[in-house]
Amino acid sequence: MSATQDLKPDEKPGERPEERAARRAAGRTTPTGHRSLRETQGNAGRRAVANRIALGVLTGAMVLAIIPLVLILFKVGSEGLAAVNWNFFTLDEPTYRTDLAGYRAGFVGTAYIMAGAIVMAIPLGLATAVYLVEYGRGRLAAFVRFFTDVMTGIPSIFVGLFVYGLLISSAAVFRTGFSAFAASLAIAIIMLPIVTRSSEEMLKLVPDEWRNASYALGASKSRTVLTTVLPAAAPGLATGSMLAVARGVGETAPLILTALGSQYLVTTYFSNPQGAVPLQIHSGASQPFAAGIERAWGGALSLFVIVLLLVVAARWLGSRANKLG
């Protein structure tokens, strides 16, 4: 009988014993292969168990995270829905005792403040992001990024104190007093780093090939930015801006130190204390009168709906940007 006929099923002709042992150890096989199959099935079973455990832990964590949100939404909705009616949006609140009152001054004041903050923060934030992505190099760009990251984490009450010292206090450099302008400046400072950082990330997603194609056609740097980069990143830029607005519209601490608040409709922008929905919620919730507390719940519900609409719009723009990409 030849040497080839004496070989076992997993042996190869001319293979040395040490090579055969190394190959079997690497493949974790035996001449018959039964041990390898059992080990494979055991490993698959352990992986399936570990996967089920991890999935259960993550699902439990998600449920625990959602429970507070659901409870908040249920409480705000059940308490505030009764206060939201036509009078709530068309009447002022001269006193907390009466049921015939509303948050008209707060809604108008919030619109004034946010309109000014949007005009101040969004163009400046977009311009800063364009500089960082398209032009910024060296230490100045690094400093701007670092400063922007620091500003993102600063408590909003510090921003209110800064604007109060700058525009309102007796030692203010440019004394204007409590006003919608001062409140807009504070909210704009809070929004600015959010707009800058989100816009910078969106601009980085525009492929360099698009820029190079524009340069190849003879376009200048500025024209490339205006006609190629910004239109391509527009949905993402709008998403970041809306998220910044959603953050600013619910701020309360800076408004206490800048707008002060008013229960009556104020149409001036650079003078006189201005009302805002967060301020009226804060004042109404601290009163002992049931009517004022009920309107505070209604204001909280209205503010939540406004923020929800902004976030949904931002999500929609973001999904549209992904589809276009």
Instruction: Using the Cα atoms of residue 14, residue 19, residue 20 and residue 23 in order, give the sign of their dihedral.
Output: negative
Q: What is the mean pLDDT of residues 299-319?
A: 86
Q: Are the C-beta atoms of residues 163 and 182 closer than 8 Å to each other?
A: yes
How much is the pTM?
0.80
Res 15: pLDDT: 62
Q: Are the C-beta atoms of residues 255 and 113 closer than 8 Å to each other?
A: yes
Confidence of residue 20 (pLDDT cuts 50, 70, 90): low
Average pLDDT, the chain: 86
Confidence of residue 29 (pLDDT cuts 50, 70, 90): very low
**229: number of CA atoms within 13 Å, CB side?**
27
Confidence of residue 19 (pLDDT cuts 50, 70, 90): low
Report the share of the chain in percent with pLDDT over 70. 85
Whether 295 shows a pLDDT value over 70: the answer reads yes
Angle formed at CA 147 by CA 146 and CA 149, multiple of 5 degrees = 65
Nearest to 260 by CA among 179, 162, 204, 321: 179
Rounded to whole angstroms, the Cα distance separating 196 from 234 reads: 14
Least confident of 36-50, 113-127, 152-166, 279-293: 36-50
Interval 169-202: pLDDT, tens: 877 778 888 999 999 999 999 999 999 999 999 9
Helix 180-204, helix 104-130: angle, nearest 10 = 40
Res 268: pLDDT: 92
Interval 97-143: pLDDT, tens: 988 999 999 999 999 999 999 999 999 999 999 999 999 888 889 99
Place of tokens 């009302």: 275
Least confident of 1-10, 61-70, 98-107, 238-247: 1-10
End-to-end CA distance of the chain: 69
Confidence of residue 32 (pLDDT cuts 50, 70, 90): very low
Res 1: pLDDT: 44
Res 30: pLDDT: 47
Least confident of 26-35, 47-56, 68-77: 26-35
Alpha-carbon Rg for the chain in angstroms = 31
Confidence of residue 37 (pLDDT cuts 50, 70, 90): low
Interval 242-291: pLDDT, tens: 989 999 998 999 999 999 999 999 999 998 999 999 999 999 999 899 99
Interval 208-237: pLDDT, tens: 999 999 999 999 999 999 999 998 898 889
